Every structure is written in structure tokens, then in C-alpha cells.
């Protein structure tokens, strides 16, 4: 283990409640065990552990993130890797050359608690910085055989609000419209529901135009707030 990985494991153990670990593992249906660190102390521990880190290059930062990720024995250590990927000192490194790192984390993580923060935050940052090259990458992911890469492409504009590129959103949704995968149907509905907060009329139009091509789950999620209004 690297010195950083040792500090992270020790720091997480210090705030762990082992009695909580079995329930956390069961809830997440995780093969990887938990230490028993809930969200609030996890965030505080990571903030303290990473506060003084500085990186000269993206490669150094990526090496530390992937070192934590690959060497993790407990799920919280992978959550710490996610936190390290988002530190302020790495803000300028959210560029296209980090995409391969995130792709590895998405493919090997293969569950929503890992994928959704990467898609909605990290991939979003790269999209904002890189424009068309990142759009091309997301369009490629949207047709991937890997479900989690597809989900990531659908969710990469989750928080874009008025800056949402609708052509990209709809193009990333299209290859998964006929999928029976729950996590893809849910992602489609979630992405549309989020954009409906900005333009409910457009989402209503899109849902109506797609007819039965949208699954009931996707349609229900997309229209949730519109229906309440």
C-alpha cells in the first residue's frame, strides 16, 4: 500500500462503527465489505486526509486515485477514491485525459453508488471543459455494451439545467429506449425529470412524442414533478 492508502485506511478505521457494517453491505448488495463509516464522518475524514494534497500533474493525481481504487479492501476506501477525484487541487485536471481513469472506475465499480457521482459530477466537468470531444465520447458510451457506461452517458448532464445540450441528451437516451434494464430506464427518467425543473414543457413534449417507446418507469420518473405541478 502507498503511504496515502495507509493513511486513508487508518483514518477511516478511526471513525468506523463496525456494528453498522453488515447492514450497510446488505443495503448496497455489495460483495466488498464495509468498515461501517456513514456518509457524514466519511466526508469529514476525507476532507482532513486530503486537505494538504497538491499535485503538479494530472498523472500524479490519477495515480493516487487509481491506487486507492484498485487497492481497496473496503467499500469506503473506494468512496475515498471518489472523494480524491473531486478535490479542489484537481479541478484543472478534469479534462479528457482523465476519462480513461473514470471509465475504469465505472466498469469495475459497476453499481450506482460509484457510477452516479462520477457521471453527474466528474463527467459533467469534463464535458464543460472539453466540448465536442467529450460529446463524441459520451455518444460512443451511449451505445456501449456496458450498461454502466450507457447510464453514465445519460446522466452526464444531470445538473446542467439551462446549459443542457438537448441534442446530446436525447442522443444518449435513444440507444437505451428499448432496454429492459432497470438502471437504464431509471436513468432516462431521472435525466428527464431533472431537466423538467428547467423546461417542463419540453420534457412533456418529448415524453408525448416518444409514446410507448419510453418505458412506464422512465415516463413516470420524467413526469413526476410536472404531474405535481
CB-based contacts of 113, cutoff 8 Å, min separation 6: 28, 79
**Residue 15 falls inside a structural domain:** yes
Give the whole-angstrom CA distance, residue 58 versus residue 60.
5
The answer to whether residue 6 sits within a structural domain is yes
From 137, 138, 62, 151, select the one nearest 107 (Cα to Cα). 151
Q: Give the mean pLDDT of the chain.
A: 96
CA nearest neighbour of 83 among 111, 57, 55, 45: 45
What's the confidence (pLDDT) of residue 2? 87
pLDDT the model gives residue 219? 96
Is residue 100 assigned to a domain? no
Residues 6+ apart with CB under 8 A from 26: none
Q: How many domains does the chain divide into?
A: 1
Q: Do 98 and 134 meet the contact criterion of CB atoms below 8 Å apart?
A: no
Confidence of residue 15 (pLDDT cuts 50, 70, 90): very high
Distances 7 to 1, 4, 68, 80 between C-alpha atoms, Å: 10, 5, 11, 11
Establish if 3 belongs to a structural domain.
Answer: yes
Distance, in Å, from the CA atom of 77 to the CA atom of 45, rounded to the nearest integer, reads 11
Beta carbons of 16 and 37 less than 8 angstroms apart: yes
CB 25 within 8 A of CB 67: no
* Residue 219, domain member (yes or no): no
Inform me whether the pLDDT recorded for 228 exceeds 70: no
Give pLDDT tens digits for 120-179.
999 999 999 999 999 999 999 999 999 999 999 999 999 999 999 999 999 999 999 999
* Confidence at 56, pLDDT banded by 50, 70, 90: very high
The band of 30, judged by pLDDT with boundaries at 50, 70 and 90, is very high
Instruction: Decide if 83 is inside a domain.
Output: yes
For 80, the grid coordinates are 475515498
Asked whether the predicted pLDDT for residue 227 surpasses 70, the reply is no
Is 69 a domain residue?
A: yes
- Residue 11 sits in a domain whose CATH number is 1.25.10.90
CA distance linking residue 165 with residue 46, whole number of Å: 33
Average of per-residue pLDDT across 96-105: 98
Q: Which domain holds residue 88?
A: 1-93
pLDDT bracket for residue 225 (50, 70, 90): confident
In a domain, 64, yes or no: yes
What is this structure's pTM? 0.95
By C-alpha distance, which of 120, 140, 127, 48 is closest to 94? 127
Mean pLDDT of the region 10-31: 97
Amino acid at each position: 500500500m502507498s503511504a496515502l492508502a495507509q493513511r486513508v485506511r487508518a483514518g477511516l478505521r478511526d471513525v468506523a462503527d463496525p456494528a453498522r457494517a453488515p447492514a450497510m453491505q446488505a443495503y448496497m448488495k455489495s460483495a466488498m465489505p464495509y468498515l461501517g463509516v456513514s456518509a457524514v464522518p466519511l466526508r469529514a475524514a476525507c476532507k482532513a486526509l486530503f486537505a494538504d494534497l497538491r499535485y503538479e500533474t494530472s498523472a500524479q493525481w490519477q495515480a493516487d486515485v487509481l491506487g486507492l481504487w484498485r487497492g481497496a479492501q473496503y467499500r469506503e476506501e473506494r468512496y475515498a477514491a471518489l472523494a480524491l477525484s473531486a478535490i479542489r487541487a484537481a479541478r484543472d485536471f478534469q479534462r479528457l485525459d482523465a476519462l480513461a481513469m473514470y471509465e475504469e472506475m465505472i466498469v469495475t465499480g459497476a453499481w450506482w453508488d460509484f457510477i452516479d457521482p462520477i457521471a453527474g459530477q466528474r463527467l459533467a466537468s469534463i464535458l464543460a471543459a472539453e466540448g465536442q470531444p467529450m460529446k463524441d465520447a459520451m455518444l460512443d458510451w451511449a451505445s456501449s455494451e456496458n450498461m454502466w457506461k450507457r447510464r453514465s452517458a445519460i446522466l452526464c448532464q444531470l445538473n446542467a439545467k439551462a446549459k443542457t445540450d438537448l441534442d446530446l441528451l436525447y442522443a444518449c437516451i435513444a440507444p437505451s429506449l428499448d432496454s429492459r434494464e432497470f438502471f437504464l430506464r431509471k436513468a432516462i427518467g431521472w435525466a428527464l425529470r431533472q431537466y423538467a425543473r428547467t423546461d417542463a414543457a419540453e420534457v412533456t413534449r418529448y415524453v408525448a412524442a416518444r409514446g410507448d417507446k419510453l418505458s412506464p418507469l422512465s415516463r413516470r420518473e420524467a413526469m413526476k414533478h410536472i404531474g405535481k405541478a
